[in-house]
């Protein structure tokens, strides 16, 4: 009885394979097992080039699949970053006045970008008290020196970097535990000294020099235009 059941099952599988051979051809484990069995039957002194070719094709397919997954992950990450910056720009445009704008920098924008500190650094020729906790008044020339760290090198509008600790001059006591920052230099218009928007994070990997800066450059340009309007 058991033999009859086994024979019936064997015939069933044979019929299914003959009807739909792709069920085996599409299964890499089954194909690998069949080729290995074929090589064993041929003996030790014969090399089946089909098996070698199949292994190489499988390795290439695995690499292509890994690349495909990496590209998709990068696309989703870029889309999420774009949505973040768009939300930030909309918040900036909604601000009816400068105090509201400054509140948004340390409130909504910090939450959207997911950073621990946001500071607006403004160069000034006098030592007036800052109008808001988010504003850090500094002397002329500070922004360039801070971005270049005192070196004579060209500057970009956006600089991303890791730091053992951030500057106390910008972040106060919080500088001890902030370990990466994004520096967005700001041109506030003719006749005005430059400024800088700084995002800082406790995560040393949130901002790194090898990351793209296109979205933050767009954010810096939008903030420049909004600040020029409020500073008139």
166 is a domain residue = yes
CATH number at residue 206: 3.30.450.40
Residue 93 CB partners (closer than 8 Å, separation 6+)? 222, 226
Q: Is the model's pLDDT at 45 over the cut of 60?
A: no
* Buried b or exposed e, range 41-64, using 16+ CB within 10 angstroms: eeeeeeeeeebeeeeeeeeeeeee
150-171 tens-digit pLDDT: 888 888 899 999 987 788 888 8
Q: Among residues of the chain, what percentage have pLDDT more than 70?
A: 78
Q: Is the model's pLDDT at 200 over the cut of 60?
A: yes
Q: Say what the alpha-carbon torsion angle 135, 139, 141, 145 is, to the nearest 10 degrees.
A: -70
Do 213 and 139 lie in one domain? The reply is yes
Give how many domains the chain has, as a whole number: 2
98-111 tens-digit pLDDT: 989 999 998 999 99
Do 138 and 183 lie in one domain? The reply is yes
If you count them, how many residues does the chain have?
232
What band does 9 get if pLDDT is binned at 50, 70 and 90? low
Are 161 and 200 in contact, with CB atoms under 8 Å apart?
no
CA distance 168 to 186: 21
Q: Is the Cα dihedral 24, 25, 29, 31 positive or negative? A: positive
pTM for the structure as a whole: 0.68
pLDDT given for residue 62 in this prediction: 77
Residue 155: domain span: 70-230
Q: Give the long-range contacts of residues 91-98, CB within 8 A, separation 24 or more.
A: 92/222, 92/223, 92/226, 93/222, 93/226, 95/226, 95/230, 97/230, 98/131, 98/230, 98/231
CA distance 183 to 216: 9
Write out the H or E segment, with its range, that includes residue 161. strand 158-162
Do 205 and 97 lie in one domain? The reply is yes
Most confident of 25-29, 37-41, 64-68: 64-68
pLDDT given for residue 187 in this prediction: 93
Sheet (strand 158-162) strand order: 135-138, 117-123, 195-201, 180-186, 158-162
- Of residues 71 and 176, which shows the higher confidence score? 176
Over residues 11-18, the mean pLDDT reads 71
57 is a domain residue = no
Do 20 and 119 lie in one domain? The reply is no
Q: Is the model's pLDDT at 70 over the cut of 80?
A: no
Q: Which two tokens stand for residue 209?
A: 């020099």
Angle of helix 214-230 relative to helix 49-94, nearest 10 degrees, comes to: 0
What band does 189 get if pLDDT is binned at 50, 70 and 90? confident
CA distance 221 to 94: 16
Are 186 and 227 in contact, with CB atoms under 8 Å apart?
yes
Do 106 and 197 lie in one domain? The reply is yes
Do 178 and 136 lie in one domain? The reply is yes
Are 107 and 176 in contact, with CB atoms under 8 Å apart?
no
């Amino acid at each position: 009885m058991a033999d009859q059941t086994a024979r019936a099952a064997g015939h069933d599988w044979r019929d299914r394979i003959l009807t739909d051979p792709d069920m085996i051809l599409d299964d890499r484990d089954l194909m690998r097992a069949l080729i290995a069995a074929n090589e064993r039957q041929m003996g030790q002194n014969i090399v089946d080039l089909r098996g070698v070719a199949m292994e190489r094709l499988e390795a290439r397919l695995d690499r292509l699949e890994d690349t495909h997954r990496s590209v998709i992950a990068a696309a989703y990450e870029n889309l999420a970053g774009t949505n973040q910056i768009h939300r930030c720009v909309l918040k900036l445009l909604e601000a009816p006045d400068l105090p509201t704008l400054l509140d948004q920098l340390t409130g909504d924008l910090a939450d959207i970008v997911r950073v621990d500190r946001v500071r607006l650094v403004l160069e000034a020729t006098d030592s007036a008290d800052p109008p808001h906790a988010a504003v850090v008044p500094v002397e002329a020339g500070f922004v360039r020196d801070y971005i270049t760290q005192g070196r004579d090198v060209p500057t970009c509008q956006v600089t991303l970097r890791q730091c053992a600790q951030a500057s106390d001059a910008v972040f106060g006591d919080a500088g001890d535990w902030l370990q990466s920052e994004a520096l967005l230099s700001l041109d506030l218009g003719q006749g005005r000294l430059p400024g800088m928007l700084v995002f800082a994070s406790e995560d040393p990997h949130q901002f790194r020099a090898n990351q793209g800066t296109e979205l933050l450059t767009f954010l810096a340009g939008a903030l420049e235009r909004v600040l020029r309007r409020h500073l008139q």
